[in-house]
Amino acid sequence: MTNLINRYTIRVYAIIINHKNEVLLSDEFQMGMKMTKFPGGGMEFGEGTIDCLKREAVEEFGQEIEVLEHFYTTDFFQQAIHKKEYQVVSIYYLAKFNGDIKFKISDKAFDFKELKNESQSFRWQNIESLKVDDITFAIDQKVAEILKKKSHEFTN
């Protein structure tokens, strides 16, 4: 049997929790589909995971973040949705903003004018009322479950 999985894609994400025990979610339209996920993206050749996350923060938020600590790394097999020959490995870090937030935070999901690739909006979601099924991807869903189980640890 030939192994079809011979490549890996590494994704790095920020888990940003505010003082109200809310986590920052990214609502996006990419590759012809709506998705709700944690902010972050793909690691490029030549960068480490933290450098990747810091670059993604500047690209997505227009501001820097401070990476606090590792939160979770994929511990199960996940095939890429659009590139079937790839296996996805996702790494999540707790992070916080350096200073005040300088970008728009919406009150509703998918708060952008049109469904075109690269459309993105951000919103806070209370961790305790977070519905795992509202998160698009399996790895992010597992992270949401872990967040819900640990939500008491994030309250001030």
CATH at 87: 3.90.79.10
Q: How is the chain classified by DSSP, letter by letter?
A: ------EEEEEEEEEEB-TTSEEEEEEEEETTEEEEE-SEEEPPTT--HHHHHHHHHHHHHSS-EEEEEEEEE--S--B-SS-TTEEEEEEEEEEEESSS--S--BSSTT-SSS--TTEEEEEEEETTT--GGGS-SHHHHHHHHHHHHHHHHH--
Whole-model pTM: value is 0.91
What pLDDT sits at residue 153?
80
What pLDDT sits at residue 1?
43
Tokens of 78: 């996940």
Q: Assess if residue 74 is contained within a domain.
A: yes
Q: Assess if residue 2 is contained within a domain.
A: no
pLDDT in tens, the chain (156 residues): 455 657 999 999 999 999 999 999 999 998 889 999 999 999 999 999 999 999 999 999 999 999 999 999 999 999 988 788 899 999 999 999 988 999 999 999 999 988 888 899 999 999 999 999 999 999 999 999 999 999 878 765
Residue with tokens 């990476």: 67
Q: Which amino acid is at 78?
A: Q
Instruction: Supply the range of the domain harboring residue 62.
Output: 7-151
How many structural domains does the chain have? Answer: 1
* Sequence-separated (6 or more) residues with CB below 8 Å from residue 27: 34, 35, 36, 106, 109, 110, 111, 112, 120, 121, 122, 123
Which residue, 123, 148, 150, is CA-closest to 37? Answer: 123
Report residue 46: phi and psi, to 5°: 95, -5
Q: Assess if residue 69 is contained within a domain.
A: yes
What pLDDT sits at residue 5?
57
What pLDDT sits at residue 82?
77
Q: Assess if residue 64 is contained within a domain.
A: yes
Residue with tokens 């977070």: 130
Q: Assess if residue 131 is contained within a domain.
A: yes
* Sequence-separated (6 or more) residues with CB below 8 Å from residue 20: 124, 126
